[in-house]
Amino acid sequence: MVALIAVLAAGGLLAWYAGRWGDGWPQRIALGVTLTELALASFEWSRAGATLASAEHGPWLVLAAWPWIPRFGIAFRLGLDGLSLLMVVLTAFLGVVSVLASWREIRERRGFFYFNLLWTLAGAVGVFLALDLFLFFFFWELMLVPMYFLIMIWGHENRRYAALKFFIFTQGSGLVMLVAILALVFAHRAATGTFSFNYFELQGTDMGSSTAMWVMLGFFVAFAVKLPALPFHTWLPDAHTEAPTAGSIILAGVMLKTGAYGLLRFVLPLFPDAALRFAPVAMTLGALGIVYGALLAFAQSDLKRMVAYTSVSHLGFVLLGVFAMNAWALQGAVMQMVAHGISTGALFVLVGVLQQRLQTRDMRSMGGLWASAPRMGAMLVFFAVASLGLPGLGNFVGEFLILLGSYRANLALTVVAALGLITAAIYALAMVQQTMHGEGPPGRRMADVSAREMTMLYAMIAASVWLGVYPQPVLDIAAPALSAMPGGVLRTTIK
């Protein structure tokens, strides 16, 4: 399990050093490292079924701990269950995609670029595995710094503003979470007489209801900023728009999922009663975010900014599902996390391809591209309809389960959220029409997607279709982790 983090961290250092050997070495090493990570994650998946069936450690596939700062109850404590395994597999898969997407785009300081890319992935994997809250905070902060450099150095025209805004929002919310972690630890010490950052020991900490609510809100704000949820989302469109293609893929597919993962892993299990009382507010933010993000996406002329706002809408479904707190909604939230990472990651790949060829992201300057790039047009149509939730693809399964579960928790908010399905169809089809159809500048032709780009996109098509046609393996892997949440969180039992 440690290898899942170590391979990426060591590979990043090697890629940085390999920049001295020639321009081609860093990307080859980065590709080898991400493929190795994907192989390790796939191996854990292959043995997950048998491990969960044995039920020796409950929902946990692997648990490991080593002393770190024992005086304060801090340990290097890692754990892998079905929820974290899904996120690690998604991270590894999108890591391979981001390296391939950067193959021609990044032409300067390649060693340092792939170092930052791999260390961002290492930090994210650490977040998904950490079961010590101090270690979790360490990895949470670790992934922010290399992403800041990815935007600042290799981003587009307004990259400095976007990178600084990203860092201020995420770092500021991280400090709020640190205060909440310390408050929880001191509350636990007051109740038991011992310091501990152990995730399992902190569950059920005796606190007053008002104290629990304030501490829970500290965690919620940090995770809502990263998700991002309305009204904490304003950093996201700028960061996505200015980041290089790989940065946008990792932001949308991995880093936003750390916020959703935090809600599932920490907010619900550590503060079940406070989360239940706060649920109507959180569900309202989720439902409003779905509609708000979709409307703003439709209003954009910048193609990349449009795709960025779709994330605000789609991850509003995740927030709605998490705080509906029943079996269907939670399963749907997990499915939406995985499916969104694939479909939106693919859209950012296509946006990057279009920007490289046309030197613009303005949809008003596009149009009529299907004639010269039919394969790109077909790919854009596929992932546009995947994003809007076409039946048979992964996003549909996630959104359907979330709406089914939230209907049982709050009918009015479910109706509001369902409007997002209509607005999603409008902006998705408008995107295809403005870029691929109509009349473009006279005489302009564009090279179609290359074999390397088609390889990435075919793999993402296969993943999206698999999730839509046969989602049961993903649901089965996630179910034990969701079922193991403390009593009072789930309104129904996962079967």
Concatenated DSSP letters of 431-494: HHHHHHSS--STT---PPP-HHHHHHHHHHHHHHHHHHH--HHHHHHHHHHHHTSPTTS-SS--
| pLDDT above 70 coverage of the chain, percent | 95
Render pLDDT for 128-155 as a digit per residue (tens, 0 to 9).
Answer: 999 999 999 999 999 999 999 999 999 8
109 — alpha (psi -120 to 50), left (phi > 0) or beta? left
Quick one: pLDDT at residue 495?
40
pLDDT band for 351, please (50, 70, 90 cuts).
very high
Pair 111, 21: CB distance under 8 Å: no
DSSP classification of residue 266:
I
Quick one: pLDDT at residue 421?
85
Quick one: pLDDT at residue 277?
93
In whole angstroms, give the CA distance from residue 410 to residue 403: 10
Pair 285, 230: CB distance under 8 Å: yes
Single-letter code of the amino acid located at 218: G
Q: How many residues does the chain have?
A: 495
Quick one: pLDDT at residue 90?
96
Mean pLDDT of the region 320-324: 93
Pair 19, 110: CB distance under 8 Å: yes
Task: State yes or no: pLDDT of 429 exceeds 90.
Answer: no
pLDDT band for 107, please (50, 70, 90 cuts).
confident
Closest to 170 in 3D by CA, of 127, 121, 223: 223
Q: How many CA atoms lie within 13 A of 233 on its CB side?
A: 27
Pair 77, 251: CB distance under 8 Å: no
Quick one: pLDDT at residue 492?
47
Q: How many helices (H) and strands (E) does the chain have?
A: 22, 2
Pair 315, 289: CB distance under 8 Å: yes
Render pLDDT for 52-87 as a digit per residue (tens, 0 to 9).
Answer: 655 555 788 889 999 998 888 899 999 999 999 999
Task: State yes or no: pLDDT of 261 exceeds 90.
Answer: yes
Which of the residue ranges 91-95, 104-108, 324-328 would you say has the lowest mean pLDDT? 104-108
pLDDT band for 125, please (50, 70, 90 cuts).
very high
Long-range Cβ contact pairs of 443-447 (< 8 A, separation 24 or more): 444/368, 444/372, 445/371, 445/372, 446/357, 446/358, 446/369, 446/372, 446/373, 446/376, 447/357, 447/372, 447/373
- Note the maximum CA span of the chain: 76
pLDDT band for 493, please (50, 70, 90 cuts).
very low
Q: What is the mean pLDDT of the chain?
A: 89
Render pLDDT for 241-260 as a digit per residue (tens, 0 to 9).
Answer: 899 999 999 999 999 999 99
In whole angstroms, give the CA distance from residue 122 to residue 91: 9
| Sign of the CA dihedral running 335, 259, 307, 232 | positive
235 contact partners, CB below 8 Å, separation of at least 6? 165, 166, 168, 169, 170, 225, 228
Mean pLDDT of the region 271-288: 93
